[in-house]
Amino acid sequence: MLKPLGDRVVVKTITAEERTKGGIVLPDTAKEKPQEGEVIAVGPGRILDNGERLAPEVKVGDRVIYAKYGGTEVKLDDEEYLILRESDILAKVEK
């Protein structure tokens, strides 16, 4: 399992099968990069200038929208994850 450091967050991308209006399924090479995922792990937060630690605003299980080209893609145990800074997360999706 990945354990992020600082203000980093591990996200598992959520990809929906994409179809055209005519019903053709798009191959992975024609799809846009996903921007939605589920938070799998959260770091302890970033350290402020005064030495205090600021806890992250997201928690494990949150669904989030993140910057299209943010983060680093990582593959572990045949699963693909994205490691983002908390600042790359744009919003939480309310259930």
d(CA 74, CA 82): 6
| Residue of higher predicted confidence among 31 and 76 | 76
**For the chain, how are helix, strand and coil distributed in percent, rounded to 5?**
5, 40, 50
Residue 3 placed within a domain: no
Residue 50 placed within a domain: yes
Range of the domain at 84: 8-93
- Which CATH number fits the domain that encloses residue 12? 2.30.33.40
- Among 10-19, 33-42, 56-65, top mean pLDDT goes to 56-65
pLDDT in tens, 24-54: 766 655 555 668 999 999 999 999 999 999 9
Q: Are strands 53-54 and 63-66 parallel, antiparallel or unpaired?
A: unpaired
Q: For the whole prediction, is pTM greater than 0.75?
A: yes
Domain count, the chain: 1
